[in-house]
Amino acid sequence: MSIKKFQVTFDCAEPERVARFWCEVLGYVVPAPPEGFASWDAYHRSLPPERRGASFACGDPSGEGPRLYFQRVPEGKVVKNRVHLDVRVGTGLVGEERLATLEAECARLVALGAVQVRVLLADEENESCIVMQDVEGNEFCLD
């Protein structure tokens, strides 16, 4: 059995804004605009008004991580995500060193518009993590 490539899709109100936030979080990049267009703005201006800004994507520049796709939906977020991303910034670290690393990344992301929800301290089974929300309220964890 082979592992398949996959894409993670986010429903949101402002696809480009959310995509650019996640580029900053993960070190992802926005792909080049479609052939024949000098920029994404030029491409979006070529679309019918109802399709302008309806979607945006970004990807891992190494090609290893999944593509992230953001699509505009009319309804706002009203409940907790059923799936969320764990951003692995503390892998291999334990105790105070792990918590300090998580807190430093949390501060960087808050400056980008994220919200810290709560800190979950280590217990007998799990290391510490920080529950966050992105610029549109989608939950994710710094792990």
The answer to the question of residue 135 being in a domain is yes
pLDDT in the model for residue 2: 74
Residue-level pLDDT at 98: 94
For 2-41, give the DSSP string: PPPP-EEEEEES-HHHHHHHHHHHHT-BPPPPPTT-SSHH
pTM: 0.88
Q: What is the pLDDT of residue 124?
A: 86
Q: What local confidence, expressed as pLDDT, does residue 31 receive?
A: 93
End-to-end CA distance of the chain: 29
| Residue 94 lies inside a defined structural domain of this protein | yes
Structural domain includes residue 77: no
10-residue mean pLDDT profile of the chain (143 residues): values are 83 95 97 93 91 93 95 86 90 93 97 97 91 95 95
Do 90 and 52 belong together in one domain?
no
For 113, the domain range is 85-142
Give CB contacts under 8 A, 24+ apart, made by 31-37. 31/57, 31/58, 31/59
Q: 2 in a domain, yes or no? A: no
Into how many domains does the chain fold? 2
19 and 58 fall within a common domain: yes
Half-sphere exposure in the Cβ direction for 38 (13 Å, CA): 1
| pLDDT confidence of residue 125 | 87
> Cα separation of 36 and 16, whole Å?
20
Report the distance separating Cα 44 and Cα 137, nearest Å.
25
Do 61 and 23 fall within a single domain?
Answer: yes
The reported pLDDT for the residue numbered 77 is 80
